[in-house]
């Protein structure tokens, strides 16, 4: 009886294997980004996309500057249209190149942390404004 149960379980497992293989094939990650909210967001600058892995902290810093600037802007003007929430990257890039580009890695990591704190502080108010506009 016990051997029959083991054989039945083995047969069941083998019959499900093709289903798992198909499901796994459907989970292939893609680098294409699509968004439900504000789908026409500007792409990151090419230099950020091509930055070497060892210097990824620079890209993260620019992303953190961008996020903080945008959430603070939403709160400041009380508007969450797509152009306000996701403007061009120019302002964030300018801050990076003017204030941080020549800094050491550790200094950039600390700056990223500071921008994250700023963004997190603005987030609740920005989210309320953006929820009302349907852009969160």
pLDDT in tens, 64-90: 999 999 999 999 999 999 999 999 999
Q: Contact 114/68 with Cβ under 8 angstroms?
A: no
Q: Quick one: tokens of 19?
A: 């289903």
pLDDT value at position 35? 83
Structure confidence at residue 36 as a pLDDT band (50, 70, 90): confident
Query: What's the mean pLDDT when you consider all of the chain?
Result: 87
CA distance 91 to 70: 10
131, exposed or middle or buried, with CB in 10 Å at 0-12, 13-18, 19+?
Answer: exposed
Q: Quick one: tokens of 21?
A: 């293989």
- Residue spans of the domains in the chain: they are 46-133
Report how far apart the first and last C-alpha atoms of the chain are (Å, whole number). Answer: 58
Percent of the chain with pLDDT over 70: 76
Average pLDDT over residues 26-43: 76
Is the pLDDT at 32 greater than 90? The verdict is no
CA distance 109 to 100: 10
Is the pLDDT at 29 greater than 60? The verdict is no
Nearest to 62 by CA among 116, 20, 130: 116
Is the pLDDT at 10 greater than 90? The verdict is no
Percent of the chain with pLDDT over 90: 72
Q: Quick one: the chain helix, strand, coil %, rounded to 5?
A: 70, 0, 30
Put simply, whether the predicted model's pTM sits higher than 0.85 gets the answer no
CA distance 129 to 86: 14
DSSP string across 53-67: GGGHHHHHHHHHHHH
Question: Which is more confident, 30 or 51?
Answer: 51
């Amino acid at each position: 009886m016990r051997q029959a149960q083991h054989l039945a379980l083995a047969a069941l497992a083998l019959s499900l294997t093709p289903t798992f293989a198909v499901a796994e094939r459907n989970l292939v990650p893609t680098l294409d980004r699509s968004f439900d909210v504000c789908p026409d967001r500007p792409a990151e600058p090419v230099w950020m996309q091509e930055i070497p892995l060892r210097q990824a902290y620079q890209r993260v810093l620019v992303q953190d500057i961008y996020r903080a600037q945008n959430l603070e802007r939403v709160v400041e003007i009380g508007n969450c249209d797509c152009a306000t929430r996701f403007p061009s990257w120019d302002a964030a890039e300018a801050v990076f190149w003017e204030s941080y580009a020549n800094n050491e890695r550790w200094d950039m990591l600390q700056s990223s942390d500071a921008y994250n704190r700023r963004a997190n502080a603005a987030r609740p108010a920005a989210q309320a404004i953006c929820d009302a506009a349907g852009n969160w």
